Structure 1
Amino acid sequence: MKPNEILFFAQHLAPDAAAGVDIAALMPIAEAQQNLHGAVTAARRVIDLVGDPG
């Protein structure tokens, strides 16, 4: 996982993200990252990482 990918998502989360983030909040960020950087797999990796309970 590239630190810049995680940082991109963190910078785009809502101020109340500490209370929890669902896929509905992550998808627009992933789409923005994809549109800016062509980072289809990067967005998927971050979503997989966030959704992993382990």
Structure 2
Amino acid sequence: MYKNVLQTIEGVGIFPLISMLIFFSVFMSAIIWFFKADKEHLQRMAELPLEQDPREHRRED
């Protein structure tokens, strides 16, 4: 049933390509953000679950 529905859509062959481009764009954006992110901030966020005092995670800017 669903196969017949998809076959009736004109240009349905472009959907997988669009999906792959969206996935690739989001994935590459995440990789670029990871390498450009402030390492001190990432380290601070990684240590948050290990802290005993919840006030320790406040920024001291």
TM-score (norm 2): 0.25
TM-score (norm 1): 0.28
Which structure has more relative contact order (CA 8 Å, sep 6+)? It is 1
Larger radius of gyration: 2
